[in-house]
Amino acid sequence: GAGVSQSPSNKVTEKGKDVELRCDPISGHTALYWYRQSLGQGLEFLIYFQGNSAPDKSGLPSDRFSAERTGGSVSTLTIQRTQQEDSAVYLCAPAEAGGSYEQYFGPGTRLTVT
């Protein structure tokens, strides 16, 4: 999606290590989603940020996962003590909070846990 960058594009890490994934969204979009896409699977909702409201963390699969969004812009998703089942493509999607509700997907970070 235009104006949405994610870094790194690829990350290979050893089991047990912590990783931090970054999303730089389009300015002006107060809402932001994180998803996980495993091989051959659909998108799995992880977390949702909307303005200054408390984030909706209902999709986070375990307490090893956390995310924050600073200043309503850049967001980071942190996975602690990574496991092999964490291997997936992690997508961030800023969204229009009102009106069209369209999401603008970033290119994703492909995480491989060895």
Q: Is 10 in the site for other proteins (CB under 8 A)?
A: no
Give the residue, chosen from 7, 56, 57, 66, that forms a contact with other proteins under the rule CB under 8 A: 56
Give the residue, chosen from 30, 106, 111, 113, that forms a contact with other proteins under the rule CB under 8 A: 106
- Distance, in Å, from the CA atom of 82 to the CA atom of 100, rounded to the nearest integer, reads 36
- Residue 76: CB atoms within 10 Å: 15
* Residue 3 or 28 having the CB closest to other proteins: 3
* Residue 1 or 13 having the CB closest to other proteins: 1
Give the residue, chosen from 9, 10, 41, 83, that forms a contact with other proteins under the rule CB under 8 A: 41
Q: Is 5 in the site for other proteins (CB under 8 A)?
A: no
- Distance, in Å, from the CA atom of 43 to the CA atom of 40, rounded to the nearest integer, reads 10
- Cβ at position 65, least distance to other proteins in Å: 18
Joined tokens for residue 89: 């493509």
Joined tokens for residue 59: 């999709």
